[in-house]
């Protein structure tokens, strides 16, 4: 054990006290203080915690912090070091079952405690997954590959490209389906960019994560994983999809099209929703039930097209009243090549921004309009202000979601700097990011309190 | 005690309990009187069976902080239960549904818990760490209870010794179970998240009645703060029992303290009998190493049976497994608890773990009651190769449940060769107990990564210390010195009125017995007579006692005023009647004389007493009885 491991996370007065009494992390100790006695094992301390306390695990399993300043003596009686390891079992092979590849990028599909930060860190291997979710072996032969170990907010162009290329390789190798474990915060961003970077896939590409980490008994991770592996192994839908809980209950997952899905609640299990349309399918442990037929069907060829172009100098601007033109100006001055605006209502910004938008046009910067209402189309003809903005070169993007437009603009500008070509790419839908029509059930946010809604809620587990 | 029998409950002496090595400790759960729940802002203490929605969840075991799976967790996972939660939107938010992370701990609850830990003279924890204690039975939707230790290593005086308090925890309450049938368990969530404290004592109690005594003592201590909830379900006891050679068994959910003695007696008896059962198995040469069993599917052999449970099971597509326990002949009839046999231990496991909840769920060849016909038993025994020395047990259910049932029969039978398995057991109405789950260990604890550690400052503890009542044992000693009536001593010591009593007696110089009786006895009498006494709170009682200070006839006046306040529900009725002047008293006395003159008195020696009664009528609460008696010339017999 290195010196830093011996006092893991301790600093200041707490570290001095440990050294003073020759006590180390994982020692079984009796601590005498000015106000009483404590018996237990010294635990590592989170680096973000204060330097004033020593943490011990009592015999009862509880942890308590003891003020270092009050400690009069520490007697070491033994040592017990934790060996946190998910039981690993070899994933069984069954020649009759489809081959599914699971890529890990991070997230909490499987995780363990991190003493450095006190938070959970992901753990991931076929053996570990089989050890914690043995049901997966009933569905497929699973291979795993850890691409990255980052939290979802740290995913960026490098990871998107790498993931797209890895998918391409696996399709060439002939897997029957691909699952991508991903943190949920930016899962819909990655789903969008993969929809553009990986086209014409013959097999399902399913993104999955969890809203409750797998170190909790009520975690949605295991069921999400089963649903996503089933969708990858068996479904006929060869698209980039997000597979997460339909209701908050442990009942079924939904397969959302990668270009129309969005995380809509900071913590609910059923946080992912298809916006402005309906999901592709429902998936339970037993069955996959398509909700529509106009999806790309599974094929037996390997004709996948991977295009990982991406221009990083693209920004998304969430418009607010009283926005000043300097926001746009600073993007122009910093060499940005594309801007997606999430405008109010049908796609509006205030008049003071016009000169800045005009400057952007003159500098050949691509500016696209989306709506911050998320549901509905941009329509810039209804009011004069919209027409004025189009004059200034702002291009409406129909019902493309702001985050999707951001991803697509980066992808388009990565391929060309010709404004007409960028325009063509932006406005030609790849897979549902712009739809011709919004079905009447594409916008359903039930309002609680209304008698008929309450009746529905009381009848169906949500 | 003879080596072959456990004495009946009524005959057991402390020496008998010492002989079997009886040891018992308590875990007392007490809800706190707070406005909100512990980790969210839902209102506390609002219960209703009404619900607006349901959600469905499953639980999976996870690794402990030290990298191990907990035995209970694995057992609960084996049961494969669907858990349904009923949600009332007025009392439950997305936190209790486990769809929102916790909010910071309720400071009001924390203050109360810290105060109780100080009363127990605990070593206080300087920095709280919230832990997750796993409960895979589904009683908490997260699968764990958020809990934290606020103090350790305390003690309370009892008889001539101390009861050691291992720790005081502050935690969130669990759901109320509605039903548990087959593979589905249903919970109401209104109680979920309520703040409660858990007091854990060392196994320092030596007889069942001591356990009940100490439970009462601890209850009085926490109630003395005036900041805990009372009423049904507000306080719940778990009792740990062991005997020499046995195991610590936790009996959960004891609803009332008076049930504790019989429950602990029965558990001591059960352990003692299981140890004798083990000795008998060893005598027969059956040890954990030599234990043998065999399982066969005997559905085909029993298609035509007239034994209803099995016939119905087969008719509904279930299968019947038979388990042969080698050398166990007769042992399923081995007595464990009062009127309870070893077969119940097996049936319980099958019911809980294999989810075969329709009883009977097993039948066995040791049973004296009619089950299979003798020829059917013969056929089953033949299929298993069973001899006269063996016992055969049938279990029926759907495919996997019947297999799980057979497996559990074997596991429990094999445990009998070792002794008393570590279990959590459930208190039953008849004073016996039944299997609830495998006893969880420290492996079910996990740090809560959602909440940071919380520092408890010396200033905070000092502030709380100033609000604490004096310890109940000190109050009780003072009350005995004051010679208060014995039946008010304990209730007053743990009552919210204890502080008021002290003020009334020491500052206002009110007669101590009068104050104690008014605060405890009269208030209780009024409640029993059906009046709402909530208006007679510490403030009101303080005004009443203070108003009555130094007034003649205060005894009756105070009582009447309490009745007036309770019946009108208003403190406007608080004013005591004005004291009667000497003139008024004289008038009442002469009025009484006149009335008496118009009556025929059968016992002339009682005249003075009757006159006294008549004179007191208009003066009640306004004049002292002594003064009136003087004027009417009445001296009560035996009165000084």
Q: Report the percentage of chain B scoring pLDDT > 90.
A: 64
**Cα–chain center distance at B635:** 51
> For the residues B316-340, what does the mean pLDDT come to?
95
Task: State residue B470's pLDDT score.
Answer: 86
Closest CA of chain B from A426, distance in Å? 37
Rounded-to-integer distance, Cα A316 and Cα A368, Å: 9
Nearest to A337 by CA among A367, A358, A309, A371: A367
Q: Is A389 left (phi over 0), alpha (psi -120 to 50) or beta?
A: alpha
B317 CA to centre of own chain: 42
pLDDT for position B486: 92
Q: Are B96 and B42 in contact (CB under 8 A)?
A: yes
A267 CB neighbours in chain B (<8 A) are 94, 99-101
- What is the mean pLDDT of the segment spanning A337-362? 95
Q: Do A248 and B99 touch (CB under 8 A)?
A: yes
pLDDT in tens, B18-72: 999 999 999 999 999 999 999 999 999 999 999 999 999 998 877 655 556 666 6
pLDDT score recorded for residue B597: 77
Cβ contact A365:A417 at 8 Å: no
**What pLDDT was estimated at residue A115?**
46
**Cα-based distances in Å from A228 to A111, A206, A231:** 18, 6, 5
Sequence-separated (6 or more) residues with CB below 8 Å from residue A67: A33, A52, A53, B126, B127
Q: State yes or no: pLDDT of B251 exceeds 70.
A: yes
Higher-pLDDT residue of B637, B130: B130
pLDDT at B473: 87
Q: pLDDT category, B640, cuts 50, 70, 90?
A: very low
pLDDT mean across residues, chain B: 89
- Give the model confidence (pLDDT) of A189-198 as tens digits: 999 999 999 9
Q: Does B2 have pLDDT greater than 80?
A: no
Please indicate whether residue A75 is annotated as part of the active site.
Answer: no
A184 is catalytic: yes
Class of CATH domain B292-416: alpha beta
What is the arithmetic mean of pLDDT over A397-425? 97
From B462's Cα to the closest Cα of chain A, the distance in A is 14
Q: Give every CB contact of residue B139 below 8 A, 6+ residues apart in sequence.
A: B174, B175, B177, B187
Chain A positions in Cβ-Cβ contact with residue B447 (cut-off 8 Å): 63, 113, 118
Strands B195-201 and B144-158, bridge-based pairing: unpaired
Choose from B40, B51, B55 for mutation: most chain A CBs within 10 A: B55
* SS3 sequence of B436-497: EEECCCHHHEEECCCCCCEECCHHHHHHHHHHCCCCHHHHHHHHHHCCCCHHHHHHHHCCCC
Q: Nearest residue of A to residue B60 by CA position? A: A217
Residue B151, pLDDT above cutoff 50? yes
> Are the Cβ atoms of B449 and A458 closer than 8 angstroms?
no
Q: Where in chain A is the domain with CATH 2.30.30.520?
A: 3-79
A244 with A208: CB under 8 angstroms? yes
pLDDT of res. A124: 58
pLDDT above 70 (res B3): no
User: Which of chain B's residues have a Cβ under 8 Å away from the Cβ of A84?
Assistant: 63, 65-67
Test A217 with B142 for CB contact under 8 angstroms: yes
Catalytic annotation on A108?
A: yes
| Location of each CATH 3.40.50.1170 domain in chain A | 99-306
The b-or-e profile of B341-360 (16+ CB within 10 A means b, else e) is bbbbbbbbbbbbbbbbbeeb
For residue B77, is pLDDT > 90? no
Neighbouring CB atoms inside 10 A of A447's CB total 6
Lowest mean pLDDT among A67-76, B326-335, B467-476: B467-476
The CA distance from B135 to B137, in Å, is: 6
CATH no. for A314-427 = 3.40.50.40
The average pLDDT across B204-223 equals 95
Contact B124 A38 (CB under 8 A): no
Which of A67, A132, A248 is opposite residue B126, by nearest beta carbon?
A67
For an interface test with A, the pick among B25, B50, B57 (most A C-beta atoms closer than 10 Å) comes out as: B57
Q: How far apart are CA A436 and CA A404, in angstroms?
A: 17
- Interface A:B, Cβ pairs < 8 A: 174
How many Å from the N-terminal Cα to the C-terminal Cα in chain A? Answer: 50
Q: Where are the domains of chain B?
A: 3-281, 292-416, 469-552, 582-637
The confidence score (pLDDT) of residue B531 equals 87
Of A263, A271, A274, A308, the active-site residue reads: A263
- Identify the CA nearest to B125 among candidates A31, A47, A73: A31
Say how far residue B559 (Cα) sits from the centre of its chain.
34
Position B444 scores a pLDDT of 76
CA distance B546 to B505: 10
Could you confirm whether A138 is annotated as catalytic? no
Residue of B nearest to A33 (CA): B123
Check residue B137 and give left, alpha or beta (phi > 0: left; psi -120 to 50: alpha).
alpha
What span, in angstroms and rounded, lies between the C-alpha atoms of B275 and B288?
14
Q: Residue B447: which of A63, A70, A249 has the nearest Cβ? A: A63
| CB contact at 8 A, A136 and A226 | yes
pTM: 0.85
pLDDT tens figures, B260-276: 999 999 999 999 999 99
List residues bridging with A14 in a β-sheet: none
pLDDT-derived band at B238 (thresholds 50, 70, 90) equals very high
Q: Is the ipTM of this complex over 0.85?
A: yes
pLDDT tens for B527-553 read 999 888 888 888 888 888 887 655 656
d(CA B150, CA B127): 8
Top pLDDT among A83 and B341 is at B341
Q: Which of A65, A82, A249 sits opposite B57 (nearest CB)?
A: A249
Percent of chain B with pLDDT over 70: 91
Residue (of A61, A69, A225, A73) closest to A142 by Cα position:
A225
Catalytic residue from among A144, A184, A186, A397: A184
Asked: is A3-79 a CATH 2.40.420.20 domain? The reply is no
Q: Residue B326 to residues B382, B386, B390, B403: CA-CA distances in angstroms?
A: 14, 8, 5, 19
- Is CATH 1.10.420.10 what the domain over A99-306 is classified as, yes or no? no
């Amino acid at each position: 054990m290195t010196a830093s491991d011996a006092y893991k996370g301790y600093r200041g007065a707490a570290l001095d006290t440990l050294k003073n009494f020759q006590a180390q992390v994982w020692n079984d100790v009796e601590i005498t203080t000015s106000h009483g006695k404590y018996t237990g094992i010294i635990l590592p301390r989170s680096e973000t915690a204060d330097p004033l306390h020593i943490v011990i695990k009592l015999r009862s399993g509880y942890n308590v912090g003891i003020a270092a300043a009050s400690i009069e003596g520490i007697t070491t009686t033994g040592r017990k070091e934790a060996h946190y390891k998910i039981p690993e079992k070899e994933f069984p092979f069954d020649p009759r079952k489809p081959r599914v590849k699971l890529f890990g990028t991070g997230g909490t599909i499987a995780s363990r405690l991190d003493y450095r930060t006190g938070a959970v860190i992901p753990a991931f291997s076929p053996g570990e997954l089989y050890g914690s979710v043995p049901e997966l072996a009933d569905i497929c032969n699973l291979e795993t590959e850890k691409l990255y170990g980052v939290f979802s907010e740290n995913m960026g162009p490098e990871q998107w490209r790498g993931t797209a290329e890895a998918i391409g390789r696996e399709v060439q190798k002939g897997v029957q389906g691909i699952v991508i474990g991903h943190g949920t915060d930016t899962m819909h961003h990655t789903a969008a960019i993969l929809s553009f970077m990986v086209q014409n896939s013959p097999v399902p590409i399913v993104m999955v994560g969890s809203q409750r980490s797998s170190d909790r008994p009520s975690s949605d991770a295991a069921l999400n994983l089963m649903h996503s592996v089933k969708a990858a192994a068996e479904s006929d839908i060869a698209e980039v999809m997000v597979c997460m809980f339909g209701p908050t209950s442990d009942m079924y997952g939904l397969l959302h099209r990668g270009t129309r899905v969005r995380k809509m609640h900071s913590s609910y299990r059923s946080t992912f929703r298809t916006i402005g349309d309906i999901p592709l399918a429902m998936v339970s442990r037993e069955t996959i039930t398509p909700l529509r037929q106009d999806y790309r069907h599974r094929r037996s060829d390997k004709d996948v097209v991977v295009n990982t172009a991406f221009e990083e100098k693209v920004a998304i601007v969430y418009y607010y009243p009283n926005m000043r033109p300097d926001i746009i100006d600073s993007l122009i001055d910093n060499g940005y090549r594309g801007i997606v605006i999430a405008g109010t209502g049908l796609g509006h910004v205030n008049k003071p921004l016009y000169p800045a938008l005009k400057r952007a046009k003159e500098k050949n910067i691509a500016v696209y309009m989306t709506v911050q209402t998320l549901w509905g189309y941009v329509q810039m003809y209804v009011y004069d202000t919209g027409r004025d903005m189009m004059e200034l070169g702002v291009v409406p993007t129909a019902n493309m979601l702001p985050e999707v437009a951001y991803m697509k603009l980066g992808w388009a500008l990565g391929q060309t700097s010709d404004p007409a070509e960028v325009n063509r790419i932006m406005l030609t839908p790849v897979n549902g990011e712009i739809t011709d029509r919004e079905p009447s059930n594409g916008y359903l946010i039930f309002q609680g309190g209304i008698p008929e809604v309450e009746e529905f809620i009381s009848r169906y587990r949500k | 005690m003879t080596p072959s029998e456990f004495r009946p409950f009524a005959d057991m002496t402390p020496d008998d309990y010492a002989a079997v090595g009886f040891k018992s400790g308590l875990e007392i759960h007490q809800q706190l009187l707070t406005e909100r729940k512990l980790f969210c802002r839902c209102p506390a203490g609002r219960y209703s069976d009404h619900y607006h929605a349901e959600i469905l969840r499953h639980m999976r075991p996870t690794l402990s902080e030290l990298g191990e799976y907990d035995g209970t967790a694995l057992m609960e996972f084996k049961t494969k239960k669907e858990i349904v939660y009923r949600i009332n939107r007025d009392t439950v938010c997305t936190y209790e549904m486990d769809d929102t992370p916790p909010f910071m701990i309720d400071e009001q609850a924390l203050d109360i818990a810290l105060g109780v830990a100080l009363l127990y003279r605990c070593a206080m924890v300087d920095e709280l760490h919230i832990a997750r204690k796993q409960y895979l039975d589904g009683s908490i939707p997260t699968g764990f209870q958020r809990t934290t230790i606020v103090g350790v290593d305390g003690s309370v005086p009892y008889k001539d010794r101390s009861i050691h308090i291992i720790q005081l925890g502050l935690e969130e309450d669990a759901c109320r179970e509605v039903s548990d049938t087959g593979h589905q368990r249903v919970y109401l969530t209104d109680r979920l998240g309520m703040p409660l404290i858990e007091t854990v004592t060392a196994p320092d109690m030596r007889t069942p009645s001591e356990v009940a005594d100490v439970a009462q003592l601890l209850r009085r201590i926490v109630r003395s703060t005036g900041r805990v909830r009372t009423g049904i379900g507000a306080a719940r006891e778990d009792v740990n029992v062991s005997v020499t050679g046995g195991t610590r068994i936790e009996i959960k959910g004891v609803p009332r303290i008076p049930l504790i003695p019989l429950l602990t007696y029965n558990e001591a008896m059960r352990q003692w009998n299981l140890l004798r059962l083990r000795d008998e198995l060893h005598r027969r040469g059956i040890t954990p190493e030599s234990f043998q069993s065999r399982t066969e599917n005997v559905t085909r052999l029993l298609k035509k049976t007239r034994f209803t449970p099995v016939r119905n099971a087969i008719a509904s597509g279930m299968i019947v497994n038979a388990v042969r326990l080698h050398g166990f002949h007769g042992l399923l009839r081995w007595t464990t608890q009062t009127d309870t046999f070893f077969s119940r231990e097996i049936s319980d496991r099958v019911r809980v773990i294999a989810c075969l909840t329709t009883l009977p769920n097993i039948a066995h060849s040791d049973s004296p009651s009619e089950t299979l016909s003798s020829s059917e038993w013969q056929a089953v025994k033949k299929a298993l190769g069973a001899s006269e020395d063996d016992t055969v047990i049938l279990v029926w259910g759907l495919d996997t449940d019947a297999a799980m049932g057979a497996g559990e029969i074997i596991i429990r039978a094999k445990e009998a060769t070792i002794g008393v398995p570590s279990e959590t057991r459930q208190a039953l109405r008849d004073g016996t107990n039944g299997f609830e789950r495998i006893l969880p260990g420290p492996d079910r604890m996990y740090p809560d990564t959602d909440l940071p550690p919380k520092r408890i400052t010396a200033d905070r503890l000092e502030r709380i210390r100033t609000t604490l009542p004096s310890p109940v044992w000190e109050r009780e000693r003072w009350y005995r010195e004051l010679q208060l009536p014995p039946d008010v001593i304990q209730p007053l010591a743990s009552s919210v009125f204890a502080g008021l009593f002290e003020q009334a007696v020491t500052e206002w110089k009110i007669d101590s017995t009068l104050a104690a009786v008014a605060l405890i006895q009269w208030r209780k009498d009024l409640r029993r007579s059906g009046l709402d006494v909530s208006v007679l709170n510490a403030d009101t009682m303080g005004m009443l006692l203070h108003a009555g200070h130094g007034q003649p006839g205060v005894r009756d006046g105070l009582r009447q005023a309490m009745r007036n306040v309770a019946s009108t529900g208003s403190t406007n009725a608080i004013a005591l009647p004005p004291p009667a002047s000497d003139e008024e008293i004289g008038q009442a006395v002469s009025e009484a004389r006149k009335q008496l003159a118009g009556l025929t008195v059968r016992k002339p020696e009682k005249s003075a007493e009757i006159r006294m009664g008549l004179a007191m009528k208009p003066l009640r609460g306004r004049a002292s009885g002594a003064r009136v008696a003087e004027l009417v010339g009445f001296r009560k017999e035996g009165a000084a």
